[in-house]
Structure 1
Amino acid sequence: MTSSTLDHTVLPPEQPLDGLLALLTGADAPSATLTGPDGEQLLLPPEVFEVLREVVAAMARGQAVTIAPVHQRLTTQEGAELLGVSRPTFVKLLEDGEIPYERPGRHRRVLLSDVLSYRDRRSLQAREALDRMVEIADQSGMYEQTATSKRTR
């Protein structure tokens, strides 16, 4: 994988990863080592160990994994795909100032970190809105009304 590609996705292997996952889950990050083909052992930095643990856990659940450097620049199409929106919707987010971007030539470029930050902000806003809706429904007694109407049918 090159550091300039975003779409290098690795599918989980066909063989189960339960043993490897158990080993990584039970291991202590500061003492994890990697043994090379020549027997040389290297101490894994805790950050690398945590990434390895997360990758194996995702693959053990049958999920594919994509790894990309955070400083990576994306096209508007790549940014849209990451957010699960259309390219025109993504461009509108850029033009509305929701996500910073550069225009080094004719095309807009966004930092992966800025797109991920926007996604996290939107996710937090959605959770807060849902929490508020539940609070309003609870205060107004809507939960009791729903339960009562189902019993009377």
Structure 2
Amino acid sequence: MTFTGDPNSAPVLPTAEEAAVAKISSRALESHLQNHPSGESLKLILNEKEGKTIDIPAAALPLLLAILQQTSSGNTVKLIPLTKELDIWQVATILNVDREYVWQLLDDGEIPYKMVQSCRRIRYEDVMKYKKQDYDKRSKILDELVAESEALGLYD
């Protein structure tokens, strides 16, 4: 898999050799993550003779693992960064809803936002907080439905 450095270029499929290397690397990284769940960073050796290394932060390791797993399957990966402040389209993608629904959530005060010129900007943390609250609310409702069904003898 070749990265051209140009963010507008199309991702390139990995060669068979790159996929094989990615498979070995993904297995090693997966093993490391299973054995070190505390979130340790990794040191990557760039040049063993010169002793050049870089640290890869723990937060990046699950993403790196996913990239290696996709590469090992012969797939390519394109990263789309999520900034601290999101636009309506990004929020809709995260929540898996349409833009109109996001506008309604914002208008109803369900998710706070700020105006930057004529655009609404929503903090990533606020979107994830809403998503968790919505999930918890839905889970509670489902638990209540199951309990009611059991009480009525409709659920085995």
TM range (shorter): 0.5 to 0.7
Structure 1 residue 101 corresponds to structure 2 residue 106: no
Q: In structure 1, how many angstroms separate the alpha carbons of the residues matched to 2:30 and 2:99?
A: 39
1:3-42 to 2 correspondences below 5 Å: 15=19, 17-27=22-32, 28=36, 30=40, 32-36=42-46, 40-42=52-54
Q: 1:126 aligns with which of 121, 138, 145?
A: 138
User: Cα deviations across residues 58-97 of structure 1 (Å, max 9, x unaligned)?
Assistant: 77687966453551x2222332232222222111100111
Q: In structure 1, how many angstroms separate the alpha carbons of the residues matched to 2:88 and 2:80?
A: 19
Q: Give the match for residue 76 of structure 1.
A: 88
Gaps of 5+ in 1: 145-153
Q: Which sits farther off after the overlay, 88-97 or 78-87?
A: 78-87
Q: Give the match for residue 117 of structure 1.
A: 129
**TM-score between the two structures when normalised by the length of structure 2:** 0.65
User: Cα deviations across residues 40-59 of structure 1 (Å, max 9, x unaligned)?
Assistant: 12343433334433554577
Q: CA RMSD in A?
A: 3.5
Shift in alpha-carbon separation, 1:76–1:24, aligned structure 2, 3 A = same
Q: In structure 2, how many angstroms separate the alpha carbons of the residues matched to 1:51 and 1:43?
A: 15
Q: 2:150 aligns with which of 134, 138, 153?
A: 138
Secondary structure of the structure 2 residue equivalent to 1:108? strand
Secondary structure of the structure 2 residue equivalent to 1:118? helix
Shift in alpha-carbon separation, 1:45–1:132, aligned structure 2, 3 A = same
How many Å apart are 1:104 and its aligned residue? 2.3
Amino acid at match of 1:32: L
Contact 2:43-2:55 at 8 Å conserved across structures: yes
Q: In structure 2, how many angstroms separate the alpha carbons of the residues matched to 1:102 and 1:90?
A: 14
Aligned-pair identity (%): 23
Residue correspondences, number: 136
Contact 1:12-1:60 at 8 Å conserved across structures: no
Gaps of 5+ in 2: 1-6
Q: In structure 2, how many angstroms separate the alpha carbons of the residues matched to 1:83 and 1:12?
A: 29
Q: In structure 1, how many angstroms separate the alpha carbons of the residues matched to 2:115 and 2:12?
A: 34
Q: Give the match for residue 91 of structure 1.
A: 103
Contact 1:30-1:44 at 8 Å conserved across structures: no
Which structure: greater strand fraction? 2
Q: In structure 1, how many angstroms separate the alpha carbons of the residues matched to 2:83 and 2:145?
A: 34
